[in-house]
Amino acid sequence: MPLDTLPDTVRVLGPVEGRAAEVLTPEALSLVAELHRALDGRRKTLLKQREARQVRFDNGDLPDFRADTAEIRAGDWTVAPIPADLLDRRVEITGPTDRKMVINALNSGARVFMADFEDATSPTWANVVEGQINLKDRWSGDLAYSDPASGKAYSLGDTPAVLLVRPRGWHLLERHVEVDGEPVAGGLFDFALYLTHNAKAALDQGSGPYFYFPKLESMEEAALWDDACRIAQSRLGLPVGTIKATILIETITAAFEMDEILFALKDHIVGLNCGRWDYIFSTIKRLGLNPDFLTPDRARMVMGEAFLSAYSRKLIATCHRRGAFAMGGMAAQIPIKSDEAANAAAFAKVQADKEREAGYGHDGTWVAHPALVPVAMEVFNRLMPRPNQLDVFGDGAGLGQSDLLEMHKGPRTEAGLRENIRVGIQYIEAWLNGRGAVPLYNLMEDAATAEISRTQVWQWLKHAATLDDGRTVDEALVRALIEDEVTRMPPGLERLAEAVALFTQLCFAQTCESFLTLPAYEVLDG
């Protein structure tokens, strides 16, 4: 059935060229429409609730465990059984959905690959559609690539990683598809297309339709995804519980609702993950006006200390009590080919981080580059010889509000401020050019780290923070450093002026913009 047979109430505004019609099918778009009509009103209400909660935080409220859900936290329940191919997730690799990246990640030796339509993808129409084509080809057996620059051929190996897909968060729209005159949620679009084209093929090949759901802030937002799963399963003739999801705990409010999020999705959930970079961003955004939560340099906020350590340990205890996996966080390092000593030091840092995670009781961890897969794998093979650590509860069960809100200690430095400026601006420039995962200064940066960069500058300005050399972070200092850092950036950055303007706008804004990708999407081409 061709696209022109769709009802007028479902409109594709982006070009349907090349192989796009293979994924923009009437069947897939009708599921998008059904999900939109059933859930978009609640989605908008929940986003309004985020705004209302922010007002309360700005007035001094602090995140805490909910009184109205105490019975859920006290109850004796577990999540549904976990599929066989998800029982060992000791190393997961993440990355964007472009073709070569997908092949390399699936072939990396990691147990799981998370194909990311969210933080690692700049959501141009071409990127979103081509990503769906690439994932469809993975299940149809047609995933191959010939690099036009090098002539090198890439193809899927015999033992690819288990594929999980991260759709966009509830806040992001897909402006190229409208239902009843309104743009659809980007996450529902990504979810519906992937499910329609791949759920049955994945099941036939011994796997299933597996997802990571991002940026949740409450159990009600988790319940919205649960309803999306139920609607989609009914439409596609799949039993309840066929879809399996892992939830990223990457917002400060979700850390206080981990039991509730597991409960809301208990038929469809297999675990939670420590989304460390977004978690730092969320903490700054949510509590940024409170002087008690003035942050030190980003580099000083490490997972073995303060609120990051507490939330990691709390996540393990919560998940394992419920029979769900507790996944560790991201190692963003990439190989430093020009400096053997620096490369060895970076890999040693990754090893120590993964040893901490395995020692805490995590069931696996994330890496951003294939070269780190062996490093993380060696640690988890050594410290976790079994497929997982569901029987390890650690010391997190008794951690309370004060532990989850303990601020990291350390200086605020000019070097830290400069790092935020150069990473934030260069990432935004790349994003505006259609690239969502960007190697910068020996780290693989995505939207989450750019969010830390701009919110931390915003926070330091709001509080007129004092640097370790005694200077005050004020408008004159930040503007001078931006101007100086821009002169040091590599040539050929096509959209540098726009990136500087947007970064500056976000840093000097009266209120903290909820996500930089919202104003950036307004000027994104394609």
Helix 475-488 with 414-432: angle, nearest 10 deg: 60
Return the DSSP state at 113.
E
With bands split at pLDDT 50, 70 and 90, how would you rate the model's confidence at 2? low
Query: How many Å apart are CA 334 and CA 37, to the nearest integer?
Result: 43
Q: pLDDT digit string (tens) for 486-518?
A: 999 999 999 999 999 999 999 999 999 999 999
Question: Closest by alpha carbon to 78, among 322, 264, 318?
Answer: 322
Tell me the pLDDT tens digit for each residue of 418-466.
Answer: 999 999 999 999 999 999 999 999 999 999 989 999 999 999 999 999 9
Q: How confident is the model at residue 3 (pLDDT cuts 50, 70, 90)?
A: confident
Q: Quick one: which of 339, 365, 363 has its CA closest to 352? A: 365
Which residue from 179, 259, 184 is spatially nearest to 218, judged by alpha carbons?
A: 259
Q: Are 492 and 429 in contact (CB under 8 A)?
A: no
pLDDT tens, position by position, 395-422: 999 999 999 999 999 999 999 999 999 9
Which residue has tokens 């051929």? 153
For 523, residues 6+ apart whose C-beta sits below 8 A from its C-beta are 432, 498, 502
**Tokens 């947007």 sit at which residue?**
502
- C-beta atoms surrounding 304 within 10 Å: 12
Q: What is the pLDDT of residue 7?
A: 81
pLDDT, average across residues 11-28: 97
Share of the chain above pLDDT 90, in %: 97
Just list the catalytic residues: 166, 446
Segment holding 174, helix H or strand E: strand 173-179
Report whether 372 contacts 330 (CB < 8 A).
no
Q: Is 460 helix (H, G, I), strand (E, B) or coil?
A: helix
Do 247 and 272 form a contact (C-beta atoms < 8 A)?
yes
* Residue length of the chain: 526
Confidence of residue 138 (pLDDT cuts 50, 70, 90): very high
Show the tokens assigned to 380.
């988890």
